[in-house]
Copies of this chain bind each other. A is one copy, B any other.
Amino acid sequence: MDVTISEVGPRDGLQSIERTMSTTLKVAWIRALAASGLREIEVGSFVSPRLLPQMADCGDVVRALHSDTENPPAFDILALVPNLKGAEAAIAAGVTRVSVPISASETHSRRNINRTTDEAIAEFARICAHHREHGGVSECTGVEAGISTAFGCTYEGVVDEDRVIDIAVKLAEAGAESVGLSDTTGYANPAQVKRLFTRLDAEIGERAGGAHFHNTRGQGLANVVAALEAGVRTFDSSQAGLGGCPYAPGASGNIVTEDLVFLLEAMGLDTGIRMDALLAARDVLREALPGEPLYGNVPDAGLPLGFRYAHEAA
């Protein structure tokens, strides 16, 4: 595989819509996604069920995925955790890796998790310490950090690039397996993306993580092209762009997995994913959430005549 797509629909998509999908349907959708060749799936958030009732069954989802001991998950089970308590629950439930968002914008950090950025970094260090102590006896191989509002903030506007890189270095020093950058607000542009990821790689090398882009202003895949130029090889995306952006009716929040797979494979970059199986997972999603808007162009337009996957073209 040349590029890893980390499917975040069951987490970012489902927590962005009002309806709650049942545990059984979540597991069915996640298994269908995995059957398409996805090697990483973020299956939920370990957060307060008062804040996000859609995610209240996250532990059950993880345990259900492990329940078929004859067919253990052939993919990495990721979960988002905002704090140590969430990380403890996620690791106990059996996730492969936990992912922790830390906001580069002070205002966003305070409003989102009621902590300053420094406090969030300190909490991240505690999560890493907990993992070092208890990770060995669990399935959990590491703790990932994702810097949210890395490309701009709806409260603060421009976010200083030096500050983003500074935070990334601190998170790597705290023990992050990887530090990714998130365009939480759909503010990013390709020039900025190339610049920041190039700096990230220069500063933290092999701990430089993936890109999480939103498509709020239609720039998601354009930013992927720029990130590829900067050497990024892991991208978050959401099947059907689930969880449409409230600022842009008709625009998906996350970039659409189906369109991203086409982009990468057409460019000759192997993702290990097959479109027919991915569209079968889309059907599972459609049946699970009748009437929910499903985004993406490739599902409607189809693959081009004569299309070859990267592994066939090589």
Contacts and interface: CB of A to CB of B under 8 A. Distances in A.
Interface of A: 152-158, 185-187, 189-192, 215-219, 221-222, 224-226, 229, 245, 247-251, 256, 259, 262-263, 266-268, 295-298, 300-302, 304-306
Most interface-central of A153, A158, A301, A305 (chain B CB within 10 A): A301
Nearest to A252: B297
B300 A251 contact: yes
Contact of A217 (B158, B219, B259): B259
Contact of A304 (B185, B245, B266, B302): B185
A119 to B, nearest CB: 24
Nearest to A262: B217
Contacts of A251: 297, 300-301
Contacts of A301: 186, 216-217, 245, 247-248, 251
Contact of A218 (B156, B157, B189, B256): B256
Contacts of A305: 152-157
B263 A222 contact: yes
A190 B300 contact: no
